[in-house]
């Protein structure tokens, strides 16, 4: 009503709108000029979205004559007892592992995913197929990988699939939001798996655990400059992080 009751103010706003200036520009300029009678951008928008100013909405970049409605976001369930990665102990001799997941494309209409874990220093890769990202399924996969290779800590992202981390059987630490560089080894491993075997768009429901074992075996057998041109399998054997396993399982890690 302040705009409607002041013809000079209204005429200025309409003229600026016709010059394709946004309400934020108009209000900011009036504030900089220290006009005695002025309004903020929210008041201009309220006026535009009312019956009085609706005819001038055509000058907005959106051409929208009503306020855009926002969908109510689903409240995310917090991960209980989450500890940031900055608190991960930096003690010589501790074996740190990094975990993540990658999923099938939406068009595949399947919930199958792959959970890779990379054991630091040795860069040893383990892959497990999970039928969905439900915490219970990921818990089984992590416990399975923990039964094969010794590690002291596990670093994950803050995906809600990790909310059962207290059941993984190891001390778990979490990266900051949108900070993949805080777990570079597993991010790099996912890139290798994608590049060599499972490009983006692959329907993971058609990939068997035996195939994943084979892919991990090949990548673990590659000579790495960072390991002095040893393979990850050789480095893992030398470090002693491999646990005593049945032969059929040990083949997943040995070349």
CATH class for the region spanning 85-250: alpha beta
Beta strands in the chain (DSSP E): 96-99, 102-103, 113-119, 124-130, 153-156, 171-174, 223-224, 230-231
Q: What is the pLDDT of residue 74?
A: 55
Q: At what angle do helices 209-220 and 184-196 cross, to 10 degrees?
A: 110
Assign residue 93 a region: left if phi > 0, alpha if psi is -120 to 50, beta otherwise?
left
Token look-up 């999970």 returns 130
* Model confidence at 245: pLDDT above 60: no
- List the domain boundaries for the chain: 7-59, 85-250
CA distance 190 to 219: 11
3-state secondary structure of 136: helix
pTM of the predicted protein model: 0.64
Decide if 230 contacts 138 (C-beta within 8 A): no
Residue 118's DSSP bridge partners are 98, 125
The mean predicted confidence, pLDDT, of the chain is 86
**pLDDT tens digits, one per residue of 90-104:** 888 888 999 999 998
**pLDDT tens digits, one per residue of 4-18:** 989 999 999 999 999
């Amino acid at each position: 009503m302040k705009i409607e009751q002041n013809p000079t103010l209204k005429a200025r706003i309409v003229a600026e709108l016709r010059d394709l200036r946004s309400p934020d520009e108009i209000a900011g300029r009036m504030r900089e000029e220290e006009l005695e009678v002025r309004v903020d951008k929210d008041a201009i928008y309220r006026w535009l979205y009312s019956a009085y100013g609706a005819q001038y909405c055509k000058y907005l970049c959106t051409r929208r004559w009503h306020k855009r409605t926002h969908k109510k976001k689903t409240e995310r369930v917090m991960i209980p007892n989450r500890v940031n990665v900055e608190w991960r102990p930096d003690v010589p001799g501790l074996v740190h592992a990094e975990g993540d997941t990658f999923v099938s494309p939406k068009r595949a209409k399947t919930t199958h995913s792959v959970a890779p874990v990379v054991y630091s220093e040795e860069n040893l890769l383990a892959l497990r197929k999970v039928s969905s990202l439900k915490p219970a399924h990921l818990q089984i996969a992590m416990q399975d990988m923990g039964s094969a290779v010794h590690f002291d800590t596990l670093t994950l992202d803050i995906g809600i699939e990790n909310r059962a981390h207290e059941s993984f059987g190891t001390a778990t630490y979490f990266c900051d939001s949108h900070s993949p560089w805080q777990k570079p080894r597993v991010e790099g491993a996912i890139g290798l798996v994608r590049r060599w075997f499972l490009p983006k768009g692959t329907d993971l429901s058609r990939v068997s655990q035996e195939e994943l074992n084979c892919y991990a075996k090949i990548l673990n057998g590659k000579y790495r400059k960072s390991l002095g041109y040893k393979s990850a399998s050789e480095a893992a054997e030398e470090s002693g992080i491999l646990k005593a396993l049945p032969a059929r399982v040990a083949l997943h890690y040995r070349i």
